[in-house]
């Protein structure tokens, strides 16, 4: 980054500070991860210069010979990862991928049934402050108060009552796996489309450590960062039996078209313009990494670390939503500790322990305060931390949460955090 340092030292210095922040702190936000240098190199390549509206072989611009090959490579690798029949790697984000799903399967005012955001759902699954809740009639299911888990009978009853046009699955803060077959049975009973947003768990699903939604969902969307450990972006997929699985529900248009064509058109020109070819190249690199055996071992360690950390929290009398975790995250209800999510996030941040405040099911506080925090293991597992370190991190977090106003405690925890980070360095790329 020598040229950037010389040409724009202000931006360079800010990037350097952010890199120092990442390197010297424990990143425990469940939706964040650290990409490899190869992924970053693809992101910073000359491909950022190329406009390539359309699909490979069907572009609206000339000069797409090589970007066509790159996009096909990304799609082919994703198909192998998920046993998919069709893939679109152009969505700029998970939100734009989801917008394409809505444009394909719903009309404004149609009813969507999704997981309540306050129970761990996604913002783009019908939240009233999001386009999905503004444009469509959003209804919600939630978890049981006693167990913190989904009750499929309750979801079936809700679906029969409201007759949604589409049912969504997927969560940003649900620590358990999903029963996709049960969801599909409910969707078929009420004549609804079934959509899975696997943004958080895409890496765990790719390595077969969690259930695969593609055999059951009519369409699957995802981000390519988080557990998949690729660049920030989105993707859409359909399983290999798409024609059979989609046969029970007619598309919104009068003329039956191939569903992949409808979704392709919903991405471009429906919801966005030219694709980001440098990001698509980085997706191809990340998918190639995800096909390696090392990536399977990494994802196994992500879950192992999550379970080890959750167990230590339970030993220290913390209340975990659903009582534990099946995946990469845990949701901690702090009400029995006498501290809000907002205050815990701030205190932990002073010790260079980065988490995010998060609502818990049946929360009695606002989304700006919350009663809980969300903790994830992907990023620090990427840095090499194991079960022992994650159990110790839980203990360090406990020291801060139970002593949020004692700067001497915060300082000691911060020192140990820095020592741990030195043992597991991240990047040294800013000054080269």
Catalytically active residues are 51, 53, 197, 223, 226, 232
For 72-81, which contacts have Cβ atoms below 8 Å and span 24 or more sequence positions? 73/284, 74/280, 74/281, 74/283, 74/284, 74/287, 77/284, 77/287, 77/288, 77/290, 77/291, 78/235, 78/237, 78/283, 78/287, 80/291, 81/206, 81/287, 81/290, 81/291
Residue 123 marked as a ligand binder = yes
Residue 390 marked as a ligand binder = no
CA distances from 241 to 6, 193, 275, 298 (A): 54, 15, 27, 30
Residue 122 marked as a ligand binder = yes
Task: Please give the helix or strand (H or E) that residue 91 lies within, else none.
Answer: none
Return all residues near 219 (Cβ < 8 A) that are at least 6 apart.
101, 104, 105, 193, 195, 196, 236, 237, 238, 259, 263
Task: Please give the helix or strand (H or E) that residue 58 lies within, else none.
Answer: strand 58-59
Residue 117 marked as a ligand binder = yes
Start-to-end CA span in the chain (Å): 6
Residue 368 marked as a ligand binder = yes
Residue 45 marked as a ligand binder = no
Q: What angle do CA 39, 40, 41 make, to 5 degrees?
A: 90
Residue 121 marked as a ligand binder = yes
Tokens, residue 384:
């090499």
Residues in the chain: 432
In this structure, the strands spanning 54-55 and 58-59 are antiparallel
DSSP, res 179: -
Rounded to whole angstroms, how far apart are CA atoms 368 and 178?
28
Q: Report the binding-site residues for (6S)-5,6,7,8-tetrahydrofolate.
A: 117, 121-123, 366-368
């Amino acid at each position: 980054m020598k040229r950037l340092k010389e040409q724009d030292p202000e931006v360079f210095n800010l990037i350097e500070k952010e890199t120092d922040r990442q390197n010297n702190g424990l990143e425990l936000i469940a939706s964040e991860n650290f990409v490899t240098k190869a992924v970053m190199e693809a992101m910073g390549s000359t491909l950022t210069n190329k406009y390539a509206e359309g699909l490979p072989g069907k572009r609206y611009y000339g000069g797409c010979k090589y970007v066509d090959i790159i996009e096909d490579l990304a799609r082919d690798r994703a198909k192998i990862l998920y046993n998919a029949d069709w893939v679109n790697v152009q969505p700029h984000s998970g939100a734009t991928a989801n917008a394409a799903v809505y444009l394909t399967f719903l009309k404004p005012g149609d009813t969507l049934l999704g997981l309540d955001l306050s129970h761990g759902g996604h913002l783009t699954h019908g939240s009233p402050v999001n386009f999905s809740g503004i444009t469509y009639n959003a209804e919600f299911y939630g978890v049981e108060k006693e167990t913190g888990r989904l009750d499929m009978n309750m979801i079936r009853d809700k679906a029969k009552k409201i007759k949604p046009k589409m049912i969504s699955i997927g969560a940003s803060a649900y620590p358990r796996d999903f029963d996709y077959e049960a969801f599909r049975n409910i969707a078929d009973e009420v004549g609804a489309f079934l959509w899975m947003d696997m943004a958080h768990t895409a890496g765990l699903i790719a390595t077969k450590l969690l259930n695969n939604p593609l055999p059951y969902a009519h369409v699957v969307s995802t981000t390519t960062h988080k557990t998949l450990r690729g660049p920030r972006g989105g993707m859409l997929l359909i399983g290999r039996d798409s024609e059979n699985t989609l046969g029970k529900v007619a598309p919104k248009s009068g003329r039956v078209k191939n569903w992949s064509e409808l979704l392709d058109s919903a991405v471009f020109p429906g919801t966005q313009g030219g694709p980001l070819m440098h990001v698509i190249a980085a997706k191809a690199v990340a998918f190639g990494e995800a096909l390696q055996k090392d990536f399977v071992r990494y994802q196994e360690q992500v879950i192992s670390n999550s379970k080890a950390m959750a167990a230590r929290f339970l030993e220290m009398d913390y209340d975990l939503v659903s009582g534990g975790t099946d995946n990469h995250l845990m949701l901690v209800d702090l009400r029995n500790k006498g501290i809000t999510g907002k205050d815990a996030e701030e205190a932990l941040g002073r010790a260079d322990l980065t988490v995010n405040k998060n609502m818990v099911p049946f929360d009695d506080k606002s989304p700006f305060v919350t009663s809980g925090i969300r903790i994830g293991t992907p990023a620090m597992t990427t840095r090499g931390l194991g079960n022992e370190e994650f159990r110790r991190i839980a203990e360090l977090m406990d020291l801060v949460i139970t002593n949020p106003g004692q700067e001497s405690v915060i300082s000691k925890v911060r020192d140990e955090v820095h020592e741990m980070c030195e043992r597991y360095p991240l990047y040294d790329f800013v000054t080269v």
